[in-house]
Amino acid sequence: MESNSMSSSLNALPSRRRFLGEIFSGKENPFRAAADDTVVETGEMVQLLSVDGYVIEIDKAYLKPVPDLSAPLSINGREGIEGRRFVMVIDLSRCKNLKKCQSACNKMHFVGEGQNWIKVHAMKEAEHTAPYWQPTTCMHCDEPPCVKVCPVDATFKREDGIVLIDNERCIGCRFCMAACPYSTRVFNWSKPILPTEVENSTYSPETSCPPKIGTVGKCDFCPDMVRKGELPHCVSACPNGVFFFGDINEDSVTNGAETFRFHELVRDRAGFRLMEDLGTRPSVYYLPPVNRLFRFEEGLEDSEGNNK
Amino acid sequence: MIQEKIYQDLLPQKFGRAGKIWVTVLVAICLVGAIAYYRQLKYGLSVTAMRDYVSWGIYISNFVFFVAISLVGSLITAVLQLTQVRWSTPLTRIAEIIAVSAIIFAALIIIVDMGRPDRFINVLIYGRIQSPILWDVIVITTYLVLGVLLLYIALLPDLAIIIKHKDKVEGWVFSIAKFLGSFWKGTPEQLRLKEKSITILTVTIIPVALAIHTVTSWLFAMTYRPGWDSTNFGAYFVSGAFLVGAAGVVVAMYIFRKFYSLQNYITNSHFNHMGKLVVMLALVYLYFNINEYLVPAFKMKKPEEQHLLGLFSGEFAPLFWLVVIMGMIVPIIIMLFPRGRKPLPMFIAGTLIVVGAWFKRFLIVTPTLLHPFLPMSNVPDSYLHYFPTWEEWAITAGSLAGALLIMTFLTRIFPIVPIEETIKGRMEEESVGTHQDYSEDWKTRQVITPKTHKV
Amino acid sequence: MKTMLRSSVIAYISFSLICDPGISITAYAQEKVSPRLDIAYFQRDSAARYLSIKVRKKIGKRFEPVAEADVNVFLEISGENVPLGKIASNAKGEGKILLSADVITSMNDLDEYSFYAEIPETDSLEEVTEYLVIKPSRMRVETNDSDSSIRVMLESKTDGNWEPFEGAELAVFIQRRFGKILIGEEFNITDENGAVELTFDTEIPGDENGSLTLESAIEDNDELGNVYATTNKRWGTPMVAADKFDRRTLWSTRDKTPWWLLVFPNAMIAGVWGVIIYLILLIFKMKRISREMK
């Protein structure tokens, strides 16, 4: 609508709507009509400020109001998404060991052979306690032991709570892997086998792609999806709605279908964190496996075929 | 003259046949190691058997071993010299050379273990002082510099002797000595400065030596893992380091004595003294081991239980008990008796300790990684065990051979037993007439030295 | 030379036809599928409008997505089928057609939106067409600060006039980053004035100023499609950032090292290296003595 608000809106927060079409940093010209778009030019010209800072004129017919807009990825990945503090709540009463979360995550992040950023453990604490399936992501601890020990600042805690890895700085000493008590980190022991376009893409810690040999990888809470306003891949992939993802500042978490107030969910369903007494202050909460949707044994059938 | 005999015995000599074979074998091992490392650079760390759970393998245990052995420099040279222990004087050069060679290879083997050695510079430009690895890099560098300085400054009088005896050494040995030490004239002023430097060095190197192995132990102790999460680790590692260093000196003593006919200088009494020192260190180390294993075993907390049972009766039990018995108990028994403190039994005990120490470091590093807090799920079966590949063995052997090569080279160009100190020591004895260092041993001494004529 | 080239080309083609029969055989044996085409209309705050397209095919008893199906979409304006765009369905069989600004302007004159989508015939798909007729609607969310009440007004265009729309099911939410929290009942029906009234009575964080986005949502309405209206109100508590992680800690970046870690280790290192430098200077002094002797 308002082309004269272009210059201010370019500096706007990601959640505001803009009328420029989709903008990804560094990618193709957003104003070029898609190949098969039959757009009838009206002759009415509109002045816009391009991403490089030039004033350009295009026909109004090319403008498409976009309901949601992706924000450009942070180039070095170290600035967090402002004002956010991401948390995850995993509902153990719903997990059936389908490992759809694992396959979606592995696929979208080109995770290598034998590696899994999400592991689904069969847990049974003691002889008489019940067995259950526990999907384990990176805990994105508020006092991360992995970050404490990194000698080159290749892994870091951002203000939005996400712990990321900069694979262009990592020297592969694997101290972080030794330090993590949740054993959540994996290592690229050999050259990752990737499709060409992924291999040639620009690296960003927010996508963790392309993975590089001799460096460490782990669950990254999908900051690229989150910037777009979409949920991480594991959350959307789980058919049972096991993963809830959200913002503690906003006090809400969602699994795509259901949204809850975070503090109410954790309080009413007696949420807990793994290895709380180690003092790592994880950002991932678990809801105990009570009133389960599935028996533990139903997950064993899947594990026969799925267990690598 | 007696002095001439000392020069003849102690100046650097050419290799005999054994020496040449020794060097050839070492070079061959290094070459195989280099080929293996080339493969590792080309294909990445997947050529090793390390995987996501056992992310640290024999490279790291080898690194810890090297750091441990390098502490000997501070023990023999610094501690014993500062406390005016005279019998250890002939051994100081060997100790320093072992220390310097070992610490050089500690640094090199760490680079070998890195996934991206091409990014080593990141440690310098992006280093985080909060990381124990940074502390380790700093102290190791510091210790290397101090060790080289200590070796060099103590060497100066001997370099002058080599230069004076140009006719008795090869040309290239002479050139090196000339390049390094031609400014040493032995003037009172220079002597004063040298003594001052040595005193400063020996005082400074002790805390730094304690620091290197304490900081190395913190690479493990600063994590949460069972078997590593111990407040005992600093002292435990340092005591183990002194032990393996001293045992290493014993082994080196025996070899040099045999192949360079140094019986007059490295006498049975030296073995006797070293034996007493080593047995004391071994008992201290045994004490720390008991603390390290008995205390958590009494409690058997869940994560520790897996780990300890794995060591005592599980997958690692054969190796664990072999190391404890053959690497600690048997040498202690050997060395408790005077007959066990003779050269050959000491050599055997020393070798057992050193080899046992290498495997002990492996038992410290790898089993813990195989007993993580959460179950090892969703990984290929090969991730659940660790046995090094030929590349890892080759590189490890190559690094050990490389350290031995440096030692061999340094003892080829520098006198193994400090000449100046030996002459000074003999003159002191003759003028003062003290035999207190040797009095108790005159019964056991079998070697004829000039002094026995006086007794 | 030319005959050699020609014969080798012929040989190559026959070779590939024989040795890769998959291509030729499946081309003849392929069955054409009649896909199911679904279009849905989405309208957000009367400005952003789009059509969501889903292409699926029935296999046995289940529906599977059809990827890379070309779908052309048109809108009837003054008797003409104005093309809105063309999409190729993605791996999930979905696509979105965004309506451009001037199409939206022309839609304002219409009494009803007649959308028409077609999949032209291809080798694997039969031709399919689908229609969707939507009644123009507009919705707004009104609020009253004094009693924290929310009033949603819904109107639709009937015979060219905007009139209240009764009987539509809607729900009111607080928008969150990834989802929405429900206020009041899940199903509210608009009354004869096209209105729904609720009270806002939860305490919930907004942004730094306490602003919240309230959204009223009509989903899958047979006549209206999917209609959303939002408004921003400062009814939330100001958001307090839980922790910005910029204190000096052991896990911060190198420029935020704890003081004690900056002071003590560096002092020790400086001390030892000071000694080292002094020793090196002593060596040089010894060298100088030797030079002076000559």
- With contact defined as beta carbons under 8 Å apart, do B274 and B346 qualify? yes
Residue C247 contacts A where some CB pair is shorter than 8 Å: no
Ramachandran assignment for B63, one of left (phi > 0), alpha (psi -120 to 50 degrees), beta (any other): alpha
Q: What is the pLDDT of residues A241-272, one digit of tens each?
A: 999 999 999 899 999 899 999 999 999 999 99
CB contact under 8 A, A189 and B50: yes
Cis preceding linkage at A210, omega within 30: yes
* Model pTM score: 0.84
Q: What is the pLDDT of residues A221-243, one digit of tens each?
A: 999 999 888 999 999 999 999 99
CB contact under 8 A, C289 and B187: yes
Beta-carbon contacts below 8 Å between B and C: 69
Find the radius of gyration of the CA atoms of chain B: 23
ipTM of the complex in this document: 0.89
Residues of chain A contacting B46 with CB distance shorter than 8 Å: 189-190
Structure tokens at B104: 């050089």
C-alpha distance from A61 to closest chain B C-alpha (Å): 50
- With contact defined as beta carbons under 8 Å apart, do B331 and B246 qualify? no
**Nearest residue of chain A to residue B118 (CA atoms):** A171
Angle between helices B188-221 and B343-369 (to 10 degrees): 40
C-alpha distance from A44 to closest chain C C-alpha (Å): 10
Distance separating alpha carbons of residues B237 and B216, to the nearest angstrom: 8
CB contact under 8 A, A252 and C245: no
Mean pLDDT over B295-303 rounds to: 94
Confidence of residue B30 (pLDDT cuts 50, 70, 90): very high
Distance separating alpha carbons of residues C5 and B309, to the nearest angstrom: 75
Distance separating alpha carbons of residues B450 and B431, to the nearest angstrom: 14
Ramachandran assignment for A229, one of left (phi > 0), alpha (psi -120 to 50 degrees), beta (any other): left
Cis preceding linkage at A144, omega within 30: no
Q: Which of helix, strand or coil describes residue B114? A: coil
Pick from B122, B129, B144 the residue to mutate for testing the C interface (most C CBs within 10 Å): B129
- pLDDT surpassing 70 at residue B439: no
**List of chains touching C (3+ CB pairs within 8 A):** A, B
Distance separating alpha carbons of residues A234 and A220, to the nearest angstrom: 11
Can you name the CATH fold of B2-371+384-420? Formate dehydrogenase/DMSO reductase fold (1.20.1630)
- The distance from CA C73 to its chain's CA centroid, rounded to whole angstroms, is 21
**List of chains touching B (3+ CB pairs within 8 A):** A, C
User: Where along chain A do its domains lie?
Assistant: 9-62, 86-303
pLDDT of residue A16: 36
pLDDT of residue C176: 87
Pick from A6, A36, A150, A252 the residue to mutate for testing the C interface (most C CBs within 10 Å): A252
- With contact defined as beta carbons under 8 Å apart, do C117 and C72 qualify? yes
Structure tokens at A149: 């020990």
Q: Tens-digit pLDDT profile for chain C (294 aa)? A: 555 656 555 555 555 554 444 444 444 455 777 888 999 999 988 678 899 999 998 888 888 888 888 889 998 888 888 888 888 888 888 998 888 888 888 888 888 899 989 998 888 888 889 999 999 999 999 999 888 899 999 999 888 889 999 999 999 999 988 889 999 888 999 999 999 999 998 889 888 888 999 999 999 999 999 999 999 999 889 888 777 788 899 999 988 999 999 999 999 999 999 999 999 999 999 999 888 876
- C70-77 and C62-65 strand pairing: unpaired
- How many Cα atoms are found within 13 Å in the side-chain-facing hemisphere of B298? 5
CB contact under 8 A, B225 and A181: yes
Distance separating alpha carbons of residues B330 and B342, to the nearest angstrom: 15
Percent of chain B with pLDDT over 90: 74
Residues of chain A contacting B140 with CB distance shorter than 8 Å: none
CB contact under 8 A, A1 and C47: yes
Pick from A41, A140, A180, A259 the residue to mutate for testing the C interface (most C CBs within 10 Å): A259
Q: Where are the alpha helices (DSSP H) in B44-185?
A: 58-70, 72, 81-82, 92-113, 121-125, 132-164, 171-181
CB contact under 8 A, B189 and C289: yes
Beta-carbon contacts below 8 Å between A and B: 145
pLDDT of residue A268: 96
Number of H helices, E strands in chain B: 18, 0
- The class of domain A86-303 in CATH terms is alpha beta
**DSSP assigned state of B161:** H
Mean pLDDT over A276-297 rounds to: 93
**List of chains touching A (3+ CB pairs within 8 A):** B, C
Pick from B47, B109, B129, B131 the residue to mutate for testing the A interface (most A CBs within 10 Å): B131
- With contact defined as beta carbons under 8 Å apart, do C141 and C231 qualify? yes
Identity of residue C44: R
Question: Long-range contacts: C16-20, Cβ < 8 Å, 24+?
Answer: none
Q: What is the pLDDT of residues B90-101, one digit of tens each?
A: 899 999 999 999
Identity of residue B302: K
- How many Cα atoms are found within 13 Å in the side-chain-facing hemisphere of C88? 7
User: Where along chain B do its domains lie?
Assistant: 2-371+384-420
Residues 6+ apart with CB under 8 A from B109: B59, B62, B63, B66, B395, B396, B399
Residues 6+ apart with CB under 8 A from B128: A150, A151, A152, A153, B134, C253, C254, C257
Find the radius of gyration of the CA atoms of chain C: 35
- With contact defined as beta carbons under 8 Å apart, do B410 and B252 qualify? no
- With contact defined as beta carbons under 8 Å apart, do B245 and B65 qualify? no
